[in-house]
Structure formats: C-alpha cells, structure tokens
Chains A and B, each alone.
Chain A
Amino acid sequence: MTTTPVPTRAETEAMIADVLAQYPKKAAKFRAKHIKANDPEGSKECEVKSNIKSRPGVMTIRGCSYAGSKGVVWGPVKDMVTISHGPVGCGQYSWATRRNYAHGHLGVNNWTAMQVTTDFQEKDIVFGGDTKLEKVLDEIVDLFPLAKGISVQSECPIGLIGDDIEAVSKKSSKKLGLPIIPVRCEGFRGVSQSLGHHIANDAVRDHVLGTGEGTFEQTDYDVALIGDYNIGGDVWASRRILEEMGLRVIAQWSGDGTINEMASTHLSKLNLIHCYRSMNYICTTMEERYNTPWTEFNFFGPTKIVSSMRKIAEFFDDEIKAKTEAAIARYQVRFDEIIKAFRPRLEGKRVMLAIGGLRPRHTIGAYEDLGMEVIGTGYEFAHKDDYTRTYGMLKEGVVLYDDPTAFEVEEFAKHLKPDLMGAGVKEKYVFHKMGIPFRQMHSWDYSGPYHGVDGFAVFARDMDQAVNSPTWDLLEAPWSKAGEVA
C-alpha cells in the first residue's frame, strides 16, 4: 500500500476500517463519521463530521473552551492583564507555553508570559468567588498601574457555582476606570477550544470593539491583521509583507496586540484574516456593524503568499497593485533561493498532519512548494466550513481525520509510514520513539516564524533538519535483528 505516494480511496477506506475495527461498536460507529478518504469534489459520502463531542476515554488531543479563549484569543493581548479565574492549574499549564511573542516589559506593560490567577480555594467554591475577584481586580490595578484593561477568563467552577462575574466586572470597571471584560469560557462548555474562540470573540464584540476613537490619522490603506497570534514572531513577518505592499496595519489580533488596536479596528478599510477558525466571528460582526469587508489569506509558502498578496491587492488601487507586484518580484529571488536549497532534500517526502483549526490545510501549499506531499491531515477543532475548504486542496484518497485520537494518529502512521509527522507536544515523543521525524506545528517547536517570506525560510530549514537528521539512523542497535528490537 505504501509504494505509491497516496493510497487509493479504496485502500484508505480499508485502512480506516482496519483501525475502527479495534474500537467498541458504539465508538466505532461514531468515529467512522469523522474519518474519511478524501474526495476532492467534497461528495456527501466523503463528508467529514466535525465539531461534535469527543468520545470519553479515547485520548482526544483536544483542549477546552478556556484554552481557546485565554490561550488563543485573549492571552496574547499584551497590555491587558489576563486573569485565570478559578483554581490554579489552568493558568499554570498555559503560562508562557504558546509563544505569543510581544514587545514590552513583563509585569510593567506586558502581561503575556505571566500567570495571574484568583487561585480558588475550597472556601471560594463554597461561598462563591465574587468577593475575591473584586479584591483581585483592585490589587491588579495597584500593582500594575500601566495595565490598559483586564479580562476575566472563567475556569470550570465559575459557571457551576453561580458566580456573577459580569456584575463584579461592571462595578469594578467603573470604580477602577479601565475596561474589565468577563469571559464565560468555562472549560466544560462546548466540545473543544473552538467554542472558547467564539465566546472570546463575542466578549471583544460586546466590550471592546468600536470603543476606541483611533489615535491616528486615517488613510485609505488601513487594514487589520486578524487571527495571527505571533507564534515565534509570525505576525511580524506577515506585517512586513503587508507594509511592503503599501498597506498600513492599524491592528493586530491578537499577537503582540493591544486593547487600543482592538478598540479601533472598526476604522479598518479591510480585515485580513489568517486563522479563520478562531476569528471569523469578529470579521462577520464588523461586516454587519461597519460594512467592513474581510478576506481570508494564507502566508505559508511562496505559492500561497503570492496568490494571497494579489488577492488582497485587488481590494485597492493601482498603486498598491504595482507595489505588490514589485514586492513579489523581490520575494521571488528569495523564494527561489530557499527552494533551490531545500527542495532537493525534501522532494517526494510524505507528510501527515494533526493540528488545530487552520494549519491542517493552510500549510499544505508550503509543503508542496518544497516538493512534499500531505498524505493525511486532520483538525482538532474544525467545523464543516473548514473541511469544505480542505477537500479540494488534497488528492483523492488522502485520509482526513477529525478530532483524531492518540490511537488513530499512531495507527495511521504505522500504516502510511510518513516521512514527517506534524502535530503537537503530546504527540511528538511518541513519534520520536517510532523513529518518525516530527515537528510541533502549534508552537513551531520553539522555532519560527513560519509566516511570510522570512518565515518560509525557517519552515524549510526546520522540515529539512527534522527529515534529514542523522539521528534516525541510530535507532536500531547493530546486534538487534530488524523488526525484533528488544
């Protein structure tokens, strides 16, 4: 089965059946709807079900609503203090691990890589935590006078014990004279991080959007960069391209972003969205409220960067179009150099991915630019509209898995024997043991940026160093017979 780069649909279906046969009946029936052999036409029988509860006990790779709100949307807003409201754990595990880079001094005018929590104790559960929250808000303002706002990120207990964080936030906001935003992102809400993104977007909509008057003269070229969390500096590399096209970025959502930028985004002439899954909500809101058009773009790899630049330029005048073409011509030199260096080393290599809500499709082009092929991909927390966008990007027969379990990812890898696996830190070391090259595709494995022209070079280098590392030749001891390693 693995001699051809991509198995046929029938072969993939047989592989899926094989893996599902090991599940109990109920779970097998459920999982069958989430795993399909791709049909680029997106036919009904190949439609992947998504955004549905994970089965208990299967070792889902998903997180929770809090992770989607605190970890993704709100946490990177650098001049706000993000409170992990509830017990100590959630904030502890998400402390500084997502690599949302930001300028500013930690604890003075930047709180991104800090863990600020109400640290609930039993008495807070029994008697309610509103009094404590109010006190915590006072103390934050006292210790962090340059904070421009505070968001209250609810952990599970908040919604279960009937706390009124909205009332506390409203009262304290008035008293302390700064925005305090209650967010109902309790981890048990919804089925994954995804609802947390939505809840977080709604909180921005209700409390921040349109409240700024703009601290700058407006121009016709003002755009907002939405859905880029500046992992390893991604947003900076993307912003560079937009600026070289002659556009002016007035807001970053939310990597290295500020509350003032979010509050002033309604002044944008065009909203550019990278991570559609986590921030389409706010784009739709701005379209409805302010008639701001929005467009999706993809800054992974030359092909997608160039087509995205042209797509964005279409919204503007000839001057922008000319600058865009000039920039593309300059970038092409660098693209050629990168591809010349790395493509021969990666040509024909087969990639499996299991990532969040955007990258399982958005990175496909970048791999293809390097001569690599994605032979299996899936999302942790996508919706139907993400899969609709995915089918046509992949060949027939490629396996698509929604909310894959640890078991499935491992089994599919055993069947398909990819040359590279891209997933998260929970998966990483399994594949190291198996001798399959691996890159973390959430955190960029502590590297990056991967966006933009500068990011593509890093992406290519990192894939090369994973695939072509000499360490993979060391796995077998010379005295162990092949396949019989002790």
Chain B
Amino acid sequence: MTTPEHTSAIPLQVLDHNDVFRDEVYQEQFENKREFENGASKEEVERVLQWTQTWEYREKNFARESLTVNPAKACQPLGAVLAGLGFEGTLPLVHGSQGCVSYFRSHFARHFKEPVPAASTSMTEDAAVFGGINNLVEAMDNMSALYKPKHIAVSTTCMAEVIGEDLFSYIGAAREQEAISQDFPVSYAHTPSFVGSHINGYDVMLKGILDSLSKSADADASKIEKSDKVRLNIIPGFDTYVGNHREYRRMLELMGVHPIILGDHSASLDSPADGEYDLYPGGTTLVDGAQAKFNRASFILQESTLRRTAELIRDVWKQELVTLETPIGVTGTDAFVTAVARTADVKVPAELTLERGRLVDAITDSSAYVHGKRVAIAGDPDLVVALTRFVLELGMVPVHIVSTNADSTFKARMEKMLSASKFGDAATVWPEKDLWHLRSLVFTEPVDLLIGSMQLKWIGRETNTPLFRVGFPIFDRHHLHRFPIVGYAGGLHLLTGLVNTILDELDRNAPAHSYDAVR
C-alpha cells in the first residue's frame, strides 16, 4: 500500500487500480470468470508463452511477409501536423476524415502534455463520392473566424489521397470564395499514409511551408535586418525534444552566429501555465521562413527524414547545404560545431570547448558502468543512427538495431558507422522490422539495456530488461522531451539517464554484500 494514512490533505485511504484488485474478492472473481471464457488452460498458455521465446519462434516470426505487429512508426499526416506547429501563428489543417486529426492531437498531447491545435475538413461519405472541395473551403472560413491563424498548413489523410483530392485548386477556390484573402499564406503537402511514415510527412510539409513562404512578399533580401552575424538555417526535422531546438539556438548564439531554426515547435509544444491559453505561443516566424533562402547555409540534421526539404534547398534555393548526422554525443556534436564554425567562418568559443570537456569528463566517470553493456536500439532511422554513434563512443555494444521506418540507405549508413568502431561488430541491423521482431531478438539474444520509445516497455517487462526511454512516443514518463539530447549539454542528459538506469538496475538486483554505497 503506497497510499498515505489519512491527513488533512488526504482525508481517506483509497485504493485505485494498482492495488484494489489484489483483494481476495477480486482474485476469486477473476478465477471464476474463466469458466465463461473457455480459454486455454494455464499450462497451455505457459507452454505457448515459453515457445514464443525460442529460436524456433524467432525464425517463424522473421519469416512473416505481410503481417505487422507493434511497428515503431506512425503515418505521414502526423508528421505534417508537427511541421505546421513549428511556425508562428500556424494552424495545421488535415484534409480528409476527421478521426485522423483527433488521433494526431491525442497522440501528441499524450507525449508533450500540451494542447495540440489542428483542424480537419471532416470529410464523410458524400465527400468521398463528390470530393471535398466544399469541406476545405468551409474549413478555412471557420478556422479564420474562430482561431484567427496567420498561416494554414494543409496536409491530407489517406482518404483524400485515395480519391485523389487536388489541394492546389481547392486552396485557390477558398481564395475565390473569400474564405481566406487572396494573399493569406497557405502551404500544402500531400501526405498519403500508405507511403513512408510520419517522418516523410514531416519532410514534405516542411518543404511545402518553406517553398510557399520563400515565394511570399516577405522573401526580400533587402528586408533582412543588417547585422555582422552570419545567419544559418538549422533544420532539426521530426525532433520531439523541444529542448533540442533551444540547445541549437544557444550553441549558435554562443558561437556568434544568428540561428534560424526552421520548424521550431519548442514554443507551441512547451508553453507556460500562467492563467491564459495562447493558441499560438511562438515558432519560426513567417518572415524568417520567407527569408531563409538568403541565409548563408542550411543545416539538415536528419538525413533520412529531410530528403525532400534538402532537394528544395539545393535545387531551388541553390543554397549551401550541410547534411550532418543529428549531433548526439561528443563526436556528433564535434562534427556539428566544426561545420558551423567553418560555414559561418567563426571561432569555436572557449565556453563550448569547456562544455565539451565536461561531457568527456562525465563519460570517463561513468565509463566503467556502461562499458561493454549490450544494448538494443529502436526508433526513427536518423535518431537510431545518432544514438548508435553515441553508445559506441561510450564503449557500449549495440546488438540489435531496429528501425521500422528505415529507408534504403539505412543499412549501409549503419554498417559504415559500426565498422568504424571496435564495439560495433556484434550488431545486427534490422531495417523495416517491427517491435514484435525485436521481442524475439531480445528473448533469443538478451541485452543489458533497451533504448527507445515507450513502445518498448512491454519487451522490457517480459524480458526483464531495463528500458532507457529516448525518442517518440513517450507517454509514460514525464518531461524528458523538455531537455535537450543534442549538443554537449544534451549528451550529458543522455549519459545521466543511461548510466543511472544501469545503476538502478544494478542496485535492484544486487546481493546484499554488493549493494554498494558508492558506485
């Protein structure tokens, strides 16, 4: 019983679902209900359970060609909504069935613990037959009146994509019919959920937004405020760590560079509780988005995620493009800092060198506990690549690497990184596999630690392996996303979590004599 005794603040001891069903009355109820269930006997369930943990089951599991079980990926329009939320005054609008938008809003709300404004065109059967032009026009009319956005970012659900909706002409119709003015900024992207995953939806929506803003009246180089500082675009991608956006800004400012974060949802998904609800608490300004093409260079920090955005910058903007792995860990951050310094022609300030030294110092302190630990890593491809580099740096041994939404380049990219490290030769790389595959991998070839989203928690419990939560979604732990995982400061956060997860586990399992006071 963890509920405290009665006090003035807690006036009655109350048992909730965690405890109340332990009572004999309930245990008897559960046992008696089995008569009506006609399920398999306990012995049979146990036999099958054991079998699902074997190599034989693993082979059967990996032989499947069509079934997907517990995938670590979501669909395109989810990513499109996140891209929209990264810009000032922007209300995402998703064209198609309305249930999708409720799902996106709930999904993000559970992760960020924040409001997630997004609207739907609420298409139903008649729109499936006749098309949803009227839905989109009315949606813009209603959104403008009720929510007064400065910019609308339109994406699509699979319903709209299957029936072939033409967003470009519908948005034109909304202007014709005066639902929005002729010059009201609207960006759009087609985001079919049967292609790719949420990261691709993020990419095409971001590309759509940057493309439309860069053609707006604000896209005028003469309007840029004069300054000695070099302006660099930082494009984090589908990055759910709002602490990362702030860390990129801080690092660049320390270096004397003017950072323009393109797709900065750190305000809209981490706003204060102060008595007022602000629908649009911030984001990349529309002016910054419009002028981004005039800045010295763009940094793409999620290579697999941001391919289409990179094309826009390289082929249309003709801007210098720097593509780097997400700067996680020492060498990842070194590469980022070096590239920023070179591109902006600035010196690395002593303060960053000091931060680097502190991270390295911390790693040396923790090294004995992380060195040689076998890990499984799962998540979005760019995050998995960057995390793998970090764990190799720590002397950990990646064993299973799973990315359900990996693209065709993932395996080669991973193998190059793994072969460059002495700690990489135990790893197997599994693009396009799901977490039911990972379950088999961990049962047959155990690891010391799982690294990935909340969706790995069931594997952790079943295989008795601790889970260090990194990535998306994380519904069951609080505030992790508010801290950075990039840069030297982010490396320290990650290291702290990693080593203490291992130490907690060590303490939990230690025999009395080894339950050490000092670790």
Q: Which residues of A contact B (CB under 8 A)?
A: 22-24, 26-27, 53-67, 79, 86-90, 92-95, 97, 101, 103-109, 113-122, 124-125, 132, 135-136, 139-140, 142-143, 145-146, 148, 155-157, 159-161, 187-191, 193, 215-216, 232-233, 236-237, 239-240, 243, 249-252, 256, 258, 260-261, 264, 337-338, 341-342, 345, 405-407, 410, 424-426, 428-435, 447-449, 454, 457-458, 460-461, 464, 468, 475-477, 480, 485-486
Contacts and interface: CB of A to CB of B under 8 A. Distances in A.
B8 to A, nearest CB: 10
A66 B276 CA distance: 35
Given A101-B17, A157-B162, A476-B275, A341 B11 contact: yes
Contacts of A109: 39-40, 45, 48
Contacts of B192: 122
Given A64-B98, A136-B66, A341 B103 contact: no
A432 B115 CA distance: 9
Given A251-B36, A258-B38, A89 B193 contact: yes
Most buried by A among B68, B117, B197: B68
A114 B70 contact: yes
Chain B interface extent, by class: 35 or more
Contact of B122 (A56, A79, A480): A56
B29 A108 contact: no
Interface in B164-207: 192-195, 197
A326 to B, nearest CB: 15
B517 interface: no
Contact of A125 (B6, B33, B64, B162): B162
A327 to B, nearest CB: 12
B475 to A, nearest CB: 7
Contact of A58 (B105, B119, B162): B119
Contact of B14 (A113, A261, A457): A457
A79 B44 CA distance: 14
B67 interface: yes
B350 interface: no
A448 to B, nearest CB: 5
A79 B66 contact: no
B71 A449 contact: no
Contacts of B55: none
B385 interface: no
Contacts of A125: 158, 162, 194
A458 B436 CA distance: 35
B66 A135 contact: yes
A160 B159 contact: yes
Contact of A56 (B17, B37, B65, B121): B121
B119 A59 contact: yes
B285 interface: no
13 contacts: A55-B122, A56-B138, A57-B120, A58-B146, A87-B75, A125-B162, A236-B21, A240-B25, A258-B38, A338-B12, A426-B102, A426-B106, A449-B20
Interface string B195-231: 1010000000000000000000000000000000000
A188 B102 contact: no
Given A118-B67, A142-B60, A476-B274, 13 more contacts: A26-B138, A57-B120, A58-B146, A59-B118, A59-B147, A88-B75, A95-B455, A114-B70, A125-B158, A125-B162, A232-B16, A233-B21, A475-B275
Given A406-B117, A410-B277, A115 B69 contact: yes
A188 B136 contact: no
B33 to A, nearest CB: 8
A57 B140 contact: yes
Contacts of A97: 106, 110, 475
B369 to A, nearest CB: 31
Contacts of A135: 65-67
A462 to B, nearest CB: 8
B128 interface: yes
A342 B49 contact: no
Contacts of B162: 125, 156-157, 160-161
Given A160-B162, A215-B36, A216-B36, A89 B278 contact: no
B305 to A, nearest CB: 17
Given A86-B158, A120-B194, A475-B273, A461 B12 contact: yes
B347 interface: no
A229 to B, nearest CB: 14
Contacts of A92: 71, 73-75, 107
B128 A188 contact: yes
Contacts of B93: 57
A24 B142 contact: yes
A480 B93 CA distance: 35
A124 B157 CA distance: 16
Given A64-B99, A67-B102, A114 B109 contact: no
B135 A56 contact: yes
Nearest to B277: A433
A57 B98 contact: no
Contact of A87 (B121, B193, B273, B458): B193
Contacts of B193: 87-89
Interface string B81-125: 000000000000100111110111111011001111111111111
A66 B20 CA distance: 33
Contacts of A65: 99
A236 B26 contact: yes
B261 interface: no
Closest 4 CB pairs of A and B: A64-B99, A57-B139, A89-B75, A93-B103
A136 B95 CA distance: 30
A116 B68 contact: yes
B417 interface: no
B349 interface: no
A79 B12 contact: no
Contact of A407 (B21, B98, B146): B146
Contacts of A432: 273
Nearest to A54: B122
Most buried by B among A24, A88, A146: A88
Given A106-B458, A156-B158, A458-B16, A23 B103 contact: no
Most buried by B among A190, A425, A476: A425
A435 B273 contact: yes
Given A92-B75, A136-B66, A250-B36, A434 B119 contact: no
A104 B73 CA distance: 26
Nearest to A133: B66
A342 B12 contact: yes
Given A66-B99, A236-B29, A105 B275 contact: no
Most buried by A among B48, B65, B103, B455: B103
A88 B194 CA distance: 7
A57 B36 contact: no
Contacts of B345: none
B145 interface: yes
B145 A22 contact: yes
Given A57-B142, A260-B36, A426-B116, A122 B100 contact: no
Contacts of A345: 11
Nearest to A106: B458
A244 to B, nearest CB: 9
B97 A64 contact: yes
Given A88-B74, A475-B273, A56 B136 contact: yes
Given A87-B75, A122-B192, A236-B21, A63 B276 contact: no
B17 A155 contact: no
Contacts of A146: 39-40, 44-45, 48
Contacts of B449: none
A152 B49 CA distance: 25
A481 to B, nearest CB: 12
Interface string B325-347: 00000000000000000000000
A56 B120 contact: yes
B272 A143 contact: no
Contact of A53 (B37, B45, B103, B124): B124
B146 A132 contact: no
B159 A157 contact: yes
